[in-house]
Structures are given as C-alpha cells and as structure tokens.
Amino acid sequence: MTGKLYVEGVTQGRLPPDQLSDNFGDLHPPLDAHEALVAADRCYFCHDAPCMTACPTSIDIPLFIRQIATGTPDAAAKTILSQNILGGMCARVCPTETLCEEVCVRETAEGKPVEIGRLQRYATDGLMARNDHPFARAAETGKRIAVVGAGPAGLSCAHRLAMKGHAVDILDPRPKPGGLNEYGIAAYKSTEDFAAREVDWLMQIGGITFKSGEKLGKTVTLEALKSDYDAVFLGMGLGGVNALGLDGEDKDGILPAVDFIADLRQASDLSRLEIGRDVVVIGGGMTAIDAAVQAKLLGALNVTLVYRRGQARMNASLFEQELAASKGVRIITNATPKAVHGNGAVREIEFEYTDDDLTPTGQTFRLAADQVFKAIGQTLVGEGLPELDGRKIKVDGTGRTSVSGIWAGGDCASGGDDLTVTAVAEGRDAAEDIHATLTGAAG
Amino acid sequence: MADLTSEFIGIKSPNPFWLASAPPTDKEYNVRRAFEAGWGGVVWKTLGEAGPPVVNVNGPRYGAIWGADRRLLGLNNIELITDRPLEVNLREMKAVKRDYPDRALIASIMVPCVEDAWKAILPLVEETGADGIELNCGCPHGMSERGMGAAVGQNPELIEMITRWCKQTTRMPVIVKLTPNITDVRLPAEAAKRGGADAVSLINTINSITSVDLDDFAPEPTIDGKGSHGGYCGPAVKPIALNMVAEIARSAETAGLPISGIGGVTTWRDAAEFMALGAGNVQVCTAAMTYGFKVVQEMISGLSDYMDCKGFTSTEELVARAVPNVSDWQHLNLNYIAKAKINQDLCISCGRCFAACEDTSHQAIAMSEDRTFTVKDDECVACNLCVNVCPVEGCIDMVAMMPGTTDPRTGKVVEADYANWTTHPNNPMAAEAAE
C-alpha cells in the first residue's frame, strides 16, 4: 500500500495510520533492566569525569551509572534530577553525541561511548512511571516570584524556587506548559505525551501556579511583574522567526518550521495532518532537521534540506544529519534561497549556490515545493526588556540582568547554547541566585 | 602445534587438562561429553562407601559473585560427594575407561578414617581400570562435619595414615587432595609425602559465604531460610591456589613431590601459570561449569601456541620453571628502583590512576587542565596500583631505573649491587657485615 504518496500538492493521509504510528515511535527505545545493567557495567567511574564536565547541568554521571549498576536506579534518578529536574526530557533530546557521550573515555578507547543518555532515561523513567517525586518543598517563605515562560528554563527555575519554599507563578501565552518540550521537539523524541507528563510530575513539588494566556508586553508588563512580585525570571525563549527576506514569502505553503512542528506535536491524529509531496526545509540546525525528518515520516515524497553554508558549519550534529539522511532527507549545502515561484501558493523555490563565505556563484537551481519550512533561526521579541547583549538579554553567570530584581535564562538570554539542557541549567542557577538574594544570603 | 602429551605420576593423558572431581564428573554421560570435547582426563566425582549413598539438599547448592557484565568470578557450593550408588559409579567408570583408554581416569574417594573402609573400596575401584586414585581430604562442607574431607585434611596425622593404608592396599598411584582451609599448606603436603603419596593436588574449595539475602537475612545459597558455608572456587581463588602450589613446590621437605594444580584455572594462561609454579598438570571445574566443556579447546590451543613461542617441546620444560624465582620478602632486592610510566598514546584519560594514587597512595600522578596524566618521579614508589586500576592493558608500565642514575624521590644513586633487608641498616636484626 502506497497510500497517497504520489498525490501532488498538500494533502493529508499520505501514509496509512499504522505506518505513521511506526514512523513516530520512540527514536531510541528505552533500555530494559538487563540492557541497563550491561550498559552500566561499561562505565569506568572516571575521576573528575569528562562526561560530567561536558554536561551543562553537571549531572554526576559516574555516580548515577554506578547506582544503576548496583541495583538502585531510584537513587540514580535522584542524582540526575537533583541537578536537572528535566532529566527525563534531556535523556531524550540532549545531543549526547556532542556532549557527555562525545567525551566518554570509552568513546576515546573504543569509539563506542557508554550509553549515558539511555541510562539516564532508564533511571528517570522508572521513578516517573510510579509518579514518585523525590523532592520535598521547604517551609513557605512568603516570597513570590514570576517566571515568564513555561519552557525548560522557566520550569527548572520554578521548581528550584518552589523547592526552597517560594511561591511561583509561571506565565505563558500557550495553553499548555512545557515550551519547546511540548511544542518544539520532534515527536519521536517525546512519545506518549512525555512532555506533559513530566510537567505534571514536576508540579508535584507544590507552590507553582501555571497561568496560561499571559504574554509579556500584551497581557502583562514587565513593570507590573516587577512591582507585583519579589523577583522576576524571564525564560520566554525566542518568539520570533527569522524571515527569508524574499518577495513572495507570504505565499501559501511557506511557513515557519516551528509552527509545523508545533502543529504536529499537538495533532491528535497524524493521518489528518497535511503535508506536501515536495517539501523544502531551509536551515541547518536542529529545528530544520526535526522538520525535515518529520515531513518525511508523514509521507512527503521528496524532502530537501537546504543550508546556505558548508556541512561543517551546520548546527545540527552529525548524528542528526545522519538520522535525516537515513530517513531519506536530501541535504543540499552551500545554497541560498533567491526567489519564490508560484501563483498564490508556492510551486518552486529557487536557490543560488554560494561558497562558505556566502559569496554568490551565479549558479542557480529550482526545487519543486508544495511546502517550504523556514528554519533559519528564531529571534527575541519584546519591548522594554533589560539591556541586550547582541540580540539576547544580557545576563551574568547567575542569570542577573541589567535590571535589579529581574533574572533571565534559556534561549532568550545570552550565554550558552540554545539547548534544553542549557536552559535547565540556567533556570536552576538563576533560582539559586534569586533565593540567595531574597533570603539575604547573596554575596 | 606443540606436543601437549602429559605424563603425571606415570598416568598418561593427551594433554595436561583434567576435570576436577566435582559435579561435571559425576556420571558417565558428562564424562563422555568431556572426553569428546577434548579433556585429557577426569577425576571422577568422589565415591563414598558402599551402601545407601549420601543425600544432597533439594534447594540451591551454588552461590556466586560476579564481575562486570555478570562475568562469574567466584562460585561456592554445598554439594556433597556423589549421591549415586557406588556400584553404578563403578560400572560407568569401567565403561568409560574401556572406550577412552588414552584418557586419564582417576577415582576420587572419601570413606571414614577406618582402615577396613579403605581396604574395602580400593579393590572395587582398581577393578574399573582406573589409572589412579585421589583421596578427598579437602571437601569443606557437610562431609567435614562427619569427620571426613577437610576434617582429615586439617590433621596431618590422619592424612599420613589414610595415605599409607592406600599405598599398602593398591598398586594404583595415590594423589592426596589438600584443603586450603589451614594455616600452612606445607604440613599436610609433608604428611602425604610421609604416607607415601605419589602426588598432592590442590587446592580444594575454600570456606565461604558468597552473599547474604538482604530481605530474608540469610546467607546464600539459602535453604528454607538458612544457609551454611560452602566451598569457594573459580577465578577468584586462583591467587590463593597459586601461592599454595608454590609453597609446596619450593619447600625443601616437599621438593619434587608431584603436584596437580587446582583453583580457578579458566584459561590456558592460568594453566601455564600453575605449571610454571610446579604443577605437573591442572584440574579444572568452575570454567567448565560456567562455559561448558568446550573451554578446553582454547586451553589446548593457547598452551600449544605459548609453548611453540617459547620453543618448549614438552610440558615438562614449563613445569616448575618459575619456582626458583619464588622467594621470601626478605630476599627481594631493595636496590631495585622502578618508576611508573604512562603511555600517552594509549591513555584514554579516565583518571583512575590519578584517583587511586592521589586518594590512596603516594600523590605521584599529576593531572593537567587538559586531562593529561603524568607520573611524578620524585614521588613515585612504583607501587603498581596505577597499573592495576588502569582499564587499558599495557598503558602504564613499571620501568626499572638504570644503575648509576639518581632516584629523584630519594636523591640516591641507583646501585647495581643486590641488597636485601637482611643486611639493611634499618633492620635491627641485620646480619653483621663481614669484616
């Protein structure tokens, strides 16, 4: 059965439901207990372990793996979660191949690292499957903190603050908390509604109120937050999508990759989600890969990812690039979009080959496109924000902004990579500094 | 392929790998499979007196400890001697020996310390065509509570007595199997020799509790809530066995007494080590119980390769070759100075050497910002711990300092001459230097 694979244009149900369900299954199936013990046995319990240094949240990886190996996976989970409250999601979405596993000494020794990410998932899944929350909230302090953005940075910050006894309101324009975990990660990395389950589990700490429909600059101002709360944490991410800057960019079929991904994540029935026969994704990061792979998995016949520089400059890891290639995504590098063709809706998109310095070569080509997903970066939006550093909110090492009483972290703040795990670390560290400041312990 | 033919106290076998008296040799079916797999000989599971046989527990009889990837390192058992009728065992032994005349077949025997008991069983065993007997003076559990096994092995007078009875009663060569559950293994070996033993075999299993059930609070293996100590064997006991074999091999009183080496032999290398320390052949049990009889094929090919590399044409050239180098601490050369050296090309920067040295030894390894680990020669005492904890074989070496160079740790020149503790100035008992 080929379904509607060859149907031109944008349509739903290109693949039969069972194949869609297979396609969007878990990218890395969880380890079972035996597999976890075998994998854990490979860890050398390194001194000052490189994996731990490479982890933005500094999880004590050798310790948690030893705890798995000695039959105490719940203790392992607590080791993980005490550093990274979203350790369950990070186990799924972290580019471990460029973080902990890249520097694993067994990668050095044998080209095969300890499976740190999968072991982390094994430990955290076990605990969360029982809905067991291993942290207790301290006595109420009476302090109230506003957290703007319910993504990884905001959730991490909120949990740490709540644990210390503060009352936290999380404000987010979307109906569900989770941010990119809920709306922005490839579906095959967060199956079975994991993002939502993880937030529910996190909220068990108590003291956190989620307020949806609240958008900074629209329904609420920073000034108001600053006066209503004892402290404010900004973790709203990057709300704007960079434009291609081409005529005809508003034609039907051209849309931000993040919107495509969000729609896919929120779809209750993938077979009713529309996808083109010919799909072009423009960009070279994780969002581009996630969009391209998922377009292919939805049944698009031809999916081409086009990046303006050379492969070595792509932000997506080699693992992600290979994943895309293995799913049948064609990757074209050194090509910049020049023009959109089509009446009303896009039909073709024209590119010009460029060298690594983006110097045009004069050689052009066209790709058939029923849909074009733009994934050339997102940008911070908002008025009256604290001082910026380039295009992001300027922060110091503890997340303090230029405005006293306002902290920031995650993708909207300067410093660190735009990764879930980095956002978690920044939210956590800002919470510690907020706590120290509010309780007079700050240095 | 080197000639692995072995002749041990006159008993010929195509190779020096025998299966020890233990569960794998309890009956004809197993022994035939062992011979088909290539084993050079078997010591049949210990026979008891005629009449109703002993009974075993009907719950777990083994306990274990494991290394990484659940590799079995040590096994403990509470199984007794054969629980099958004597006549059945004898009949099967005879049939097997008839069909495999080139293989060694030894009967392990354990009967009460009564002369008549030994005189009654020996002719029956002789009649099977067995090549020899092994007196089980080692079994540390169950039978020892009845005054046999290790209870005999712990009393040199009894060893000498039953050995003498056997030598007076049978023409078959007599091997005495010794228990390690004693303080000085040379004493029972000397007793066996006095009794006329043709050889000793060692070690039998070591008293042990392998683990405790932390829910039921009972030692394992647990039988209905209780456990008793068992006999420990497998790779974990090899170092203990090697030392005991060497002690007998280098003792003047027992020098030249043939030894069948037992205790954790798992690979050809283990076997070669036992033989180098004086064992004429080896007996294997746990490796077979862990991996099946096929392991002997690696032992055969490995020992053969090794002998070819060394130019040995007979196992005799290997046997006892390391014995002259087994010494006492007081005779070790204190002028020998070595330093650890880390091969940076092989190092994977795990830092285990650093943690071990920094936390528990001599703070003699430096760690740089980029995780390069180097030895501080002015602190290194060459203890070897870094080598032992390094996961990469051959990454860290101990390199001897040349005489005439200066040890940066002590500031003293390395001397070429040998000097040991007996003449060391710090030794209050030091022998006076000759005038």
Q: Which of A37, A41, A108 sits opposite B349 (nearest CB)?
A: A108
Query: pTM for the full model?
Result: 0.91
Per residue in A361-379, pLDDT (tens digit) is 999 999 999 999 999 999 9
Q: Is B139 a catalytic residue?
A: yes
**In the predicted model, is pLDDT for residue A1 greater than 60?**
no
Q: Which of B354, B371, B391 sits opposite A44 (nearest CB)?
A: B391
In angstroms, the CA B264 to CA B231 distance is 13
Q: Which of A37, A41, A46 sits opposite B350 (nearest CB)?
A: A46
The structure tokens listed for A109 are: 């020794």
Per residue in A389-419, pLDDT (tens digit) is 999 999 999 999 999 999 999 999 998 889 9
Work out the minimum CA distance from B355 to partner chain A, whole angstroms. 6
What pLDDT sits at residue B176?
Answer: 98
A41 vs B68: CB contact, 8 Å cut-off? yes
**Residues of chain B contacting residue A41, judged by C-beta atoms under 8 Å apart:** 68-70
Name every residue in A having a CB less than 8 A away from some CB of B.
37-38, 41-42, 44-50, 105-106, 108-109
Nearest C-alpha in B relative to A110: B348
What pLDDT sits at residue A2?
Answer: 57
B69 vs A46: CB contact, 8 Å cut-off? no
* Total beta-carbon pairs less than 8 A apart between chain A and chain B: 35
A46 vs B392: CB contact, 8 Å cut-off? no
Give the best residue of A43, A44, A102 to mutate against chain B (max B CB count within 10 A).
A44
DSSP letters, B146-211, are GT-THHHHT-HHHHHHHHHHHHHH-SS-EEEEEPS-SS-THHHHHHHHHHT-SEEEE---EEE--E
Work out the minimum CA distance from A108 to partner chain B, whole angstroms. 6
**In the predicted model, is pLDDT for residue B434 greater than 50?**
no
Q: Which of B70, B348, B355 sits opposite A105 (nearest CB)?
A: B348
**In the predicted model, is pLDDT for residue B431 greater than 80?**
no
Per residue in A9-34, pLDDT (tens digit) is 999 999 999 999 999 999 888 999 99
Answer yes or no: are the C-beta atoms of A233 and A192 closer than 8 Å: no
Q: Are strands B62-66 and B72-77 parallel, antiparallel or unpaired?
A: antiparallel
pLDDT category of residue A356 using cuts at 50, 70 and 90: confident
**In the predicted model, is pLDDT for residue A58 greater than 60?**
yes
Work out the minimum CA distance from B349 to partner chain A, whole angstroms. 7
Mean pLDDT of chain A: 95
B214 at interface of A, judged by CB pairs closer than 8 A: no
- B112 vs B120, B151, B162, B188, CA distance in Å? 11, 11, 9, 18
Nearest C-alpha in B relative to A107: B348
CB contacts under 8 A, B 16-75 vs A, are 68-70
B352 vs A49: CB contact, 8 Å cut-off? no
Question: What's the CA angle centered on A77, arms A71 and A79, to 5 degrees?
Answer: 100
Per residue in B311-360, pLDDT (tens digit) is 999 999 999 999 999 999 999 999 999 999 999 999 999 999 999 999 99
Residue B347: burial class (beta carbons within 10 Å; 0-12, 13-18, 19+): buried
B404 at interface of A, judged by CB pairs closer than 8 A: no
Reference A419, options A59, A118, A153, A100; nearest CA is: A153
Work out the minimum CA distance from A274 to partner chain B, whole angstroms. 48
| Complex ipTM | 0.87
Nearest C-alpha in B relative to A47: B351
B351 vs A47: CB contact, 8 Å cut-off? yes
Neighbour count for residue B232 (Cβ, 10 Å)? 27
pLDDT category of residue A443 using cuts at 50, 70 and 90: low
What pLDDT sits at residue A380?
Answer: 95
Q: Which of A37, A38, A44 sits opposite B350 (nearest CB)?
A: A44
In angstroms, the CA A173 to CA A179 distance is 10
Per residue in A59-73, pLDDT (tens digit) is 999 999 999 999 999
Q: What are the b/e assignments for A400-434, b being 16+ CB within 10 Å?
A: bbebebbbbbbbbbbbbebbbbbbbbbbbbbbbbb
- B158 vs A107, B143, B166, B175, B191, CA distance in Å? 59, 15, 12, 15, 9
Averaged pLDDT, B293-299: 97
What pLDDT sits at residue A383?
Answer: 86
In angstroms, the CA A120 to CA A88 distance is 7
**In the predicted model, is pLDDT for residue A336 greater than 60?**
yes
Q: Where does CATH 3.20.20.70 sit in chain B?
A: 6-325
Which CATH number applies to A144-239+380-438? 3.50.50.60
pLDDT category of residue A315 using cuts at 50, 70 and 90: very high
**In the predicted model, is pLDDT for residue B433 greater than 60?**
no
Please list, in sequence order, all residues whose beta carbon lies within 8 angstroms of the beta carbon of residue A423, skipping any fewer than 6 positions away: A151, A152, A153, A156, A235, A409, A410, A411
**Residues of chain A contacting residue B355, judged by C-beta atoms under 8 Å apart:** 47
The CATH homologous superfamily to which domain B6-325 belongs is Aldolase class I (3.20.20.70)
Please list, in sequence order, all residues whose beta carbon lies within 8 angstroms of the beta carbon of residue B256, skipping any fewer than 6 positions away: none
A108 vs B392: CB contact, 8 Å cut-off? no
B366 at interface of A, judged by CB pairs closer than 8 A: no
**In the predicted model, is pLDDT for residue B267 greater than 70?**
yes
Averaged pLDDT, A243-249: 93
Q: Where does CATH 3.30.70.20 sit in chain B?
A: 330-420
Work out the minimum CA distance from B75 to partner chain A, whole angstroms. 20
CATH architecture of B330-420: 2-Layer Sandwich (3.30)
Q: How far is CA A103 from the centre of its chain?
A: 22
What pLDDT sits at residue B432?
Answer: 62
A44 vs B352: CB contact, 8 Å cut-off? yes
Q: Where does CATH 3.50.50.60 sit in chain A?
A: 144-239+380-438, 241-377
Work out the minimum CA distance from A103 to partner chain B, whole angstroms. 10
Per residue in A40-56, pLDDT (tens digit) is 999 999 999 999 999 99
Q: Which of B69, B367, B392 sits opposite A109 (nearest CB)?
A: B392
Reference B249, options B332, B158, B324; nearest CA is: B324
Domain A33-129 fold is: Fumarate Reductase Iron-sulfur Protein; Chain B, domain 2 (1.10.1060)
What pLDDT sits at residue B430?
Answer: 85
* CATH number among 3.40.50.11540, 3.30.2270.10, 3.30.300.30, 3.50.50.60, domain A241-377: 3.50.50.60
pLDDT category of residue A442 using cuts at 50, 70 and 90: low
Catalytic-role residue among B137, B139, B347, B395: B139
Per residue in B191-239, pLDDT (tens digit) is 999 999 999 999 999 999 999 999 999 999 999 999 999 999 999 999 9
Residue A71: burial class (beta carbons within 10 Å; 0-12, 13-18, 19+): exposed
Mean pLDDT of chain B: 96
A106 vs B348: CB contact, 8 Å cut-off? yes
- Please state the three-class secondary structure of chain A as a single string: CCCCCCCCCEEECCCCHHHHHHHCCCCCCCCCHHHHHHHHHCCCCCCCCHHHHHCCCCCCHHHHHHHHHCCCHHHHHHHHHHHCCCHHHHHHHCCHHHCHHHHCHHHHHHCCCCCHHHHHHHHHHHHHHCCCCCCCCCCCCCCEEEEECCCHHHHHHHHHHHHCCCEEEEEECCCCCCCHHHHCCCHHHCCCCHHHHHHHHHHCCCCEEEEECCCECCCECHHHHHHHCCEEEECCCCCEECCCCCCCCCCECEEEHHHHHHHHHHCCCHHHCEEECEEEEECCCHHHHHHHHHHHHCCCCEEEEEECCCHHHCCCCHHHHHHHHHCCCEEEECEEEEEEECCCECCEEEEEEECCCCCEEEEEEEEECCEEEECCCEECCCCCCCCEECCEECCCCCCECCCCCEEECHHHECCCCCCHHHHHHHHHHHHHHHHHHHCCCCC
